[in-house]
Amino acid sequence: MDSGSDSDGTEDLPPAWDNVTDTIILYIFQYLPARNLLTAGQTCKLWNRLSYDEFLWRDLFYRDFNIKCNVGIMPGKKSWYSEYKRLDYHTPIVETEVLTQHTHQVLHVSFSHNGKYFATCSKDGYILVWKASYPAKVKHSHDMKSFSWKYTQYSQFNETDTLLLVSGVHFGTPQSTSGEIAVFSLKGFNLQCRVVNKPYDIFGTWYSEEHLLSGDLQWLAQLVSSSGLWLNKAYQDITSEHTPITVQLYRFYNVNASTIRSVMVANCVAPEPCSSSPPPSPQSRLPLPSHHSHMRGGSGWERGNPVSYRDLNRPVPLPHPLPVHHQMIVMSGPKLKTGRGGILTWKL
């Protein structure tokens, strides 16, 4: 034996893990819990690299969260490890308490923008506003059956969390589609207004801080109807909150039994103007339609808004898009346009 060798003769034997391929290590890693896998990745550079293998985390994602393999990664996401981390860290999985104040099925839950409150709608006819702290406590409640409501189905806080929109269904025959929207002030939970909403599945939505959208449906013939969108004031200027102050925004002609089923309002930024094009002069801007003048403070001009169909034939150049905010109404229905379902977007 060479004098420089150890007495046990193990000097020339290579380390065992250096001969193990990545495939074998990954095969072993797939049986480890996620936290043990990350701990094993701290052993050496090789294990650390393999512990972040995307295919390995994809398999763990499907296994640990019991998700079907035909479900792909969330649109816009590229890392299975990040998705596993998101679901593990940021998805509530621990039941802290059971809320039993409702006596029937809960149909909808909405949260305030500041995260301090949430509202629940139920088939028992009540609207409840809760404090979101632990333990959750009821801050406000109202029995909407006093307004001949069968149940409450939808709620939404306005942007400043000072008002709550509540949508419900009236008592009636099984074929009845009559509903109503009520607005409550979160300071004292006083009723501000009530608006008829027919059909009831147009839940309504906030248009601005003090205005909301509702809808109606009128049948003109078999499978032909018209849907209307109404702008309603949340605070009434008269003594009775039962008489709504409404202004009709749009009326749509529906064919093939299509109807508007859902409405959403969003603020969108118009594209930046091309640097080579000069900004339009005030004379080149088109006036708003007359039914919009009262909604824009009486101003006859509005930058960046598209013209109506009545203005398309006017011999006036179209305004260049400016970097301003547009308010958009997004509507969905079962048979819009194609007869198979669709979404329409309108700029205001």
53-106 pLDDT per residue, tens: 999 999 999 999 888 888 888 888 889 999 999 888 887 777 889 999 999 999
| Same domain as 253, residue 272 | no
| Same domain as 282, residue 257 | no
Last residue of a domain, one of 61, 90, 119: 90
For a pLDDT cut of 90, what percent of the chain falls above it?
Answer: 35
Q: Give the three-class secondary structure for 340.
A: coil
Determine the average pLDDT of the residues in 99-118: 94
Last residue of a domain, one of 226, 261, 296: 261
| Same domain as 313, residue 199 | no
Is 208 domain-assigned?
A: yes
| Same domain as 255, residue 111 | yes
| Same domain as 110, residue 235 | yes
Instruction: Write down the mean pLDDT value for the chain.
Output: 76
231 compared with 276, residue with greater pLDDT: 231
| Same domain as 163, residue 59 | no
| Same domain as 235, residue 133 | yes
Is 30 domain-assigned?
A: yes
What is the pLDDT at residue 175? 63
Check which CATH number belongs to the domain holding 47 and give it.
1.20.1280.50
Expressed as residue numbers, the domain containing 22 is: 16-90
| Same domain as 295, residue 205 | no
266/269 Cα distance (integer angstroms): 10
Is 201 domain-assigned?
A: yes
Angle at 153 between CA 148 and CA 157, to 5 degrees: 110
Last residue of a domain, one of 62, 90, 118: 90
232/194 Cα distance (integer angstroms): 10
Determine the average pLDDT of the residues in 110-137: 94
| Same domain as 239, residue 112 | yes
Task: Check whether 335 has a pLDDT greater than 70.
Answer: no
Name the residue among 119, 185, 179 with its Cα closest to residue 155.
119
- For residue 12, CA distances in Å to 1, 4, 17, 77 come to 12, 12, 15, 48
Is 95 domain-assigned?
A: no
Is 203 domain-assigned?
A: yes
What is the pLDDT at residue 239? 52
Is 341 domain-assigned?
A: yes
- For residue 244, CA distances in Å to 3, 18, 284, 292, 293 come to 103, 78, 38, 19, 21
| Same domain as 42, residue 183 | no
For the chain, the straight-line distance linking the first and the last C-alpha, in angstroms and rounded, comes to 92
16 compared with 19, residue with greater pLDDT: 19
Determine the average pLDDT of the residues in 194-218: 82
| Same domain as 221, residue 245 | yes
Is 320 domain-assigned?
A: yes
If one counts the domains in the chain, the total is 3
Determine the average pLDDT of the residues in 39-44: 91
66/235 Cα distance (integer angstroms): 48
Sign of the C-alpha dihedral computed for residues 64, 67, 68 and 71 taken in this order:
negative
Check which CATH number belongs to the domain holding 115 and give it.
2.130.10.10
| Same domain as 251, residue 111 | yes
Is 147 domain-assigned?
A: yes
